[in-house]
Amino acid sequence: MVRLSRVLLKDAGSVIDKTLSDILVCPLSKQPLRVCEKTKSLVSDTIDVSFPIKDGIPCLVPKDGKILEEEGDASKA
């Protein structure tokens, strides 16, 4: 069981499940989040905040959010 868990967690950080990403919302604005594959994070375009995905688990605690820079942020591309 432990070996299976390690194998599953090894690739977990690369992609978040489509169903999960469809139901998650920003904890601050309550608006939908967008998955950014480049930064492996969930982005709230409404308030320009990015939340990390660690080992396949979205970290949606408001203090974990990172304010995105204006215009120069690569994750908005």
pLDDT tens readout for residues 6-26:
444 445 444 577 788 889 999
Instruction: Report which DSSP code applies to 7.
Output: H
pLDDT in tens, 23-48: 999 999 999 999 998 999 999 999 99
CB atoms within 10 A of CB 68: 21
Q: Are 55 and 34 in contact (CB under 8 A)?
A: no
Q: Which two tokens stand for residue 44?
A: 């709230």
* 3-state SS track over 12-27: CCCCCCHHHHHHCECC
pLDDT in tens, 47-77: 999 999 998 899 999 999 999 987 544 455 4
